[in-house]
Amino acid sequence: MENYRELSRKKLTQRGVKIEDIAVLVYDLQKMYYNDLKIDRCIEAINLVLDKRETAFAVLTGIELDIAAENKSLNEINDIIESDYSLYGIDEILALSIVNVHGSIALTNFGFLDKTKPGIIGKLEEDGKKDGVCHTFLDDIVCAIASSAASRIAHDRENEKTS
C-alpha cells in the first residue's frame, strides 16, 4: 500500500499538480475561520488525505482514465470523457470516494470548488481543453483532495479546542 500512496503522489506531479497548488485552495477555504492558519498546516492536512487508501486508488484510476481518453482508447465513451461533457457525472462520483470518508464539510467544500474552479482547478480545466490533453477526472480529484484537507483542518482544530 505504501507503494500506491507514493505512486499517486508521483502521478499527480507528472500530471502537473503540485501539493503547494492544492495548499493554496485549502488555505483560502479555511482562512476565514482561523486567523493563525499557516500554509504548512494545509500541506500537512493534504498529506493526511493522500495517505488514505481511498485517495490513492481514486487518484490512480482517475488519471489512467484521463490518459486513456487522451490516447483515444476508450471506444464509445471516449468522446464523452475527452470533452468533459457536463452531464457525464462519473468524474464527480469517482472524486466522492475521497470526499465521503472526510465527512460533510468536505462535501460542501467539494461542490463549492467544483463550481467556482479557483486556482489550479481552473487551470487544469483550461489546459484540458487543449488538443491531446484530458483532465476530466483530474480536476474533480484535486477538488476532492482540497475539500477533504479543509474538512480535516476544521475537525482537528475543534478537537484541539475541546481537549
Separation CA 38–CA 1 (nearest Å): 30
Q: Is 77 in the site for a second copy (CB under 8 A)?
A: yes
Separation CA 137–CA 155 (nearest Å): 27
Asked if residue 78 lies in contact with residue 69, where contact means CB atoms within 8 angstroms, the answer is: yes
Q: How many residues bind a second copy (CB under 8 A)?
A: 54
Q: Is 2 in the site for a second copy (CB under 8 A)?
A: yes
Q: Is 27 in the site for a second copy (CB under 8 A)?
A: no
Q: Is 37 in the site for a second copy (CB under 8 A)?
A: no
The amino acid at 150: A
Upper half-sphere CA count for residue 5 (Cβ side, 13 Å): 10
Chain-centroid distance, C-alpha 64:
15
Q: Give the number of residues written for the chain.
A: 163
Separation CA 61–CA 59 (nearest Å): 6
Min separation Cβ 57 and a second copy, Å = 5
For a second copy, what does the binding mask look like between residues 79 and 118, x meaning CB under 8 A? -xx----xxxxx-xxx-xx--xxxxxx-xxxxxxxxxx--
Q: Is 126 in the site for a second copy (CB under 8 A)?
A: no
Min separation Cβ 114 and a second copy, Å = 4
Q: Which three-class secondary structure state does DSSP give residue 33?
A: coil
Q: Which is nearer to a second copy, 10 or 20 (CB)?
A: 10
Which residues are at the interface with a second copy (CB under 8 A)?
A: 1-2, 4, 7, 11, 53-54, 57-58, 60-61, 64-65, 67-68, 73-77, 80-81, 86-90, 92-94, 96-97, 100-105, 107-116, 154-155, 158-159, 162-163
